């Protein structure tokens, strides 16, 4: 029977320590041999969030949230390295902010203005900042 060894970097342990009971934690597993770790190809962001990530305005692992007080609804998503959003309670990532928001709200909605970073900025704010950088 092979031995399974799992190593967590300190950043992952810190993230797990801050997670609440209702958070969904996604882990990727890669194969390694002994002390040698198999190098994986770099992940390249694609889709609607790619330009924000390439400009370093949005990072993989960023947590996005929203709160709609009128209906007492909250959403939480994590940005993946390839520019998708993993939404708590959903098994597959979403390719766009609006698709991710609709999965939580049940309605078509503008995810660019709904999702907020921890500092309060919306994805639309980041998009506007990118536009200013490019002009």
Closest CA to 49 of 131, 118, 112: 112
pTM of the predicted model as reported, rounded to 2 decimal places: 0.70
For the chain, the DSSP string reads -PPP-----HHHHHHHHH--TT---------EETTEEPPPPPP---STTHHHHHTTSS-TT-EEEEEEGGGTEEEEEEE-TTS-EEETT-SS-BSSHHHHHHHHHSS---HHHH-B-TTS-BHHHHHHHHHHHT-
Check residue 91 and give its pLDDT: 85
Q: How confident is the model at residue 21 (pLDDT cuts 50, 70, 90)?
A: low
Write out pLDDT tens, residues 74-112: 999 999 999 999 999 888 899 999 999 999 999 999 999
């Amino acid at each position: 029977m092979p031995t399974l060894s799992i190593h967590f970097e300190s950043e992952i342990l810190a993230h797990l320590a801050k997670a609440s009971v209702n958070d969904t934690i996604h882990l990727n597993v890669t194969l390694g041999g002994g002390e040698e770790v198999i190098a994986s190809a770099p992940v390249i962001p694609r889709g609607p969030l790619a330009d924000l990530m390439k400009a370093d305005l949005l990072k993989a692992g960023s947590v996005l949230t929203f709160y709609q007080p009128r209906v007492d609804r909250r959403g939480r998503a994590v940005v993946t390295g390839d520019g998708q959003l993993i939404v708590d309670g959903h098994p597959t990532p979403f390719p766009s902010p609006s698709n991710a928001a609709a999965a939580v709200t049940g309605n078509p909605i503008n995810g660019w203005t709904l999702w907020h970073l921890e500092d309060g900025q919306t994805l639309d704010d980041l998009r506007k900042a990118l536009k200013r950088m490019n002009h």
